[in-house]
Amino acid sequence: MKITTIILAAGKGTRMRSDLPKILHKIANRPLLQHVYDTAKNLKNNNIKIVVGHGAELVTAALINLDAEWIEQTLQLGTGHAVQQVSHQIGDDDTVLILYGDVPLLKLETVKLLINNVNDQSLALLTVKLANPTGYGRIVRNSAGQVIKIVEEKDASVDEKKIMEGNTGIMAVKGKPLKKWLSQLSNGNAQGEYYLTDVIEMAVADKFSVVTSQPDTEDEVLGVNNRIQLSHLERVYQQEQANILMEQGVTLRDPLRFDQRGEIASLGQDIEIDVNVILEGNNKIGSNIKIGPNTLIKNSIIGDNVEIFANCIIEDAVIGTGSRIGPYARLRPDSVLAENVHIGNFVELKKTTVAAGSKINHLSYIGDTSVGEKVNIGAGTITCNYDGVNKFQTVIEDGAFIGSNSQLVAPVTIGKNATIGAGSTITKDSPENQLTLSRAKQMSIAGWQRPIKKES
């Protein structure tokens, strides 16, 4: 079976009050349209066509990597008109699936169920029972319970408005009949639009059965029209992610204060996550992990038995087994820590590898540096890696001890087991096993007196 999915995404989204086209607004850091695309992409043998209009250039530029064909609908004359733009590209035998670019949480299982209801004599329609159907097209059934048409809210009679079964807009049908019906649409209705929903009545006239199915939850078929709905679906999505993680062995101190914006490529168990933790991008997380509150972890790999204390920012980093990070640590891109490394408070690392058992516990900036094993870097150590134009490397070999408040002016190498005296500015390589220090000699002046204030 060949599938053609048409994602309708030309609408303006006026109520978002935004310069950004609505479908580029994000849930979990992914554009609404991308959510729909990702779901459709999971169907095999599927050609995806996306109908864009408002902000078409911005949309195609932002989502240039999608494996889809972009079709422009210059004037938005209705959902039927939108599908007409793709008509000539639909094969007779294709199963055509219509999705909306602003309905992000639709589940793959729901779509598969829908598609299974399509055959040469049936159209599959996703409907939803609503507590308040205002604004939705209503599903009109005959006394035998068969669907006979959809009537839009603005065209509905008083009785039709009482129907609680709403049209989600999502449907599937074979290409040949769809193309025929599309060519017969007219815009003689309250909104002067070409309604896709009119194909239902045409299908019934052609002796098609309209097979309806429903999503598991209403949230699956909710569209985003304003930022309140956007935030609602964000929370729905996040609660789902939280549930998945908890089922996999993660303790979330409060699932309502946890955000996952991306994927977790691998996950161990016995992971404890405190409140306000954000996992972003693609992370790999080992087993027996504690993550303290208010921490952002992005595109990182975390080994087993790691503890991350409160308020850390960790990005494009690797943390080795048994390491301890924070509180208030910042691991910037390409920070690679081996086993049992301790990074303490107010420590910033960038492009730095730290070998096993080394400690940088307080108030330091270490950038473009290779740190050996069992190195101890004292409080207030700074690698001066930048001369305003170029970046330079610092090498600190195994067992070195850097006294507090030292500046290591790169390029520079601190030899194996070398000791740097506190307060030194090191500009030359420091030999192994020796104490190196650069500091004015301390002296005391006997008989020196403080100035005395004159009486006025």
Q: Burial code of 94-111, b = ≥16 C-beta within 10 A, e = fewer?
A: bbbbbbbbbbbbbeeebb
Stretch of residues binding ligand UD1 (CB under 6 A), selected from 97-105, 355-363, 376-384, 434-442: 97-105
Taking residue 228's Cβ as centre, other Cβ atoms within 10 Å add up to 9
Which is closer to ligand UD1, CB of 132 or CB of 456? 132
Q: 104 or 223: whose CB is closer to Ca ion? A: 223
Q: Is 68 in the site for ligand UD1 (CB under 6 A)?
A: no
Nearest distance from residue 136's CB to Ca ion, in Å? 8
Q: How far is the CB of 351 from ligand UD1 (least distance, A)?
A: 44
Q: Return the one option of Ca ion, ligand UD1, none that residue 37 interacts with (CB less than 5 to 8 A, by type).
A: none
Q: Among Ca ion, ligand UD1, none, what does residue 377 contact (CB within 5–8 Å per kind)?
A: none
CA dist 141 and 209 (Å) reads: 12
Residues 28-57 that bind ligand UD1 (CB under 6 A): 51
Least CB distance from residue 190 to Ca ion, whole Å?
A: 15
What does the angle CA 441 – CA 443 – CA 444 come to, to the nearest 5 degrees?
A: 170
Q: Using CA atoms, how far apart are residues 48 and 51, in angstroms rounded to an integer? A: 10
Of the candidates 346, 348, 309, the one whose C-alpha atom is nearest the C-alpha of residue 325 is 309
Q: What's the farthest any 2 CA atoms get from each other in the chain?
A: 113
Antiparallel, parallel or unpaired: β 407-409 and 382-384: parallel
- Residue number with the smallest Cβ distance to Ca ion: 223
Give the pair of three-digit tokens for residue 96: 């055509």
- Tokens in use for 189? 């209705």
Nearer to ligand UD1 by Cβ, of 8 and 296: the residue is 8
Q: Which of residues 174-203 bind ligand UD1 (CB under 6 A)?
A: 195-197
Q: Rounded CA gap, 330 and 312, in Å?
A: 6
Of the candidates 35, 54, 88, 362, the residue annotated as catalytic is 362
Contacts of 64 (CB under 8 A, 6+ apart): none
Does position 8 interact with ligand UD1 (CB under 6 A)? The reply is yes
| Active-site residue, 88 included | no
- 5-13, 116-124, 180-188, 402-410 -> range binding ligand UD1 (CB under 6 A): 5-13
Question: How far is 336 from 416, CA to CA, in rounded Å?
Answer: 20
> Residues 353, 357, 358, 362: is their CA dihedral positive or negative?
positive
Contact residue for ligand UD1 among 9, 118, 329, 371 (CB under 6 A): 9
Task: Give the residue nearest to ligand UD1 (CB).
Answer: 137
- For ligand UD1, which stretch binds (CB under 6 A), given 119-127, 165-173, 283-291, 440-448? 165-173
- Long-range (24+ apart) CB contacts under 8 A made by 202-206 are 203/123, 203/173, 203/177, 204/146, 204/147, 204/148, 204/149, 206/177, 206/181
- Residues 214-233, one symbol each (x = binds Ca ion by CB under 5 A, - = not), give ---------x----------
76 sits near ligand UD1 (criterion: CB under 6 A): yes
CA pair distance 161, 132, nearest whole angstrom: 10
Residue whose CB is less far from ligand UD1, 5 or 168 = 168
Q: Is the dihedral of CA 409, 413, 417, 418 positive or negative?
A: negative
End-to-end CA distance of the chain: 102
For the bound state, the minimum distance from the C-beta of residue 167 to ligand UD1, rounded and expressed in Å, comes to 4
Q: Closer to ligand UD1 by CB, 86 or 289: give it.
A: 86
Smallest distance from the beta carbon of 281 to Ca ion, in angstroms? 31
Residue with tokens 């079976």: 1
Residue 152 near ligand UD1 by CB under 6 A: yes
Residue span binding ligand UD1 (CB under 6 A) among the ranges 76-84, 293-301, 320-328, 367-375:
76-84
Q: Which of 25, 35, 49, 81 forms a contact with ligand UD1 (CB under 6 A)?
A: 81
Q: Is 77 in the site for ligand UD1 (CB under 6 A)?
A: yes
Residue 165 lies near ligand UD1 (rule: CB under 6 A): no
Q: Rank residues 101 and 380 by Cβ distance to ligand UD1 and give the closer one.
A: 101
> What DSSP string runs through 364-416?
EEEEEEEE-TT-EE-TT-EEE-B-SS-B--EEE-TT-EE-SS-EEESSEEE-T
Q: Which of 169, 177, 320, 372 binds ligand UD1 (CB under 6 A)?
A: 169
Nearest Cα to Cα of residue 354 among 40, 87, 364: 364
Interacting residue ranges for ligand UD1, rule: CB under 6 A: 8-11, 51, 73, 76-79, 81-82, 100-102, 136-137, 150, 152, 166-169, 195-197, 223
Contacting residues toward Ca ion, per CB under 5 A: 223
Q: Which residues are catalytic?
A: 362
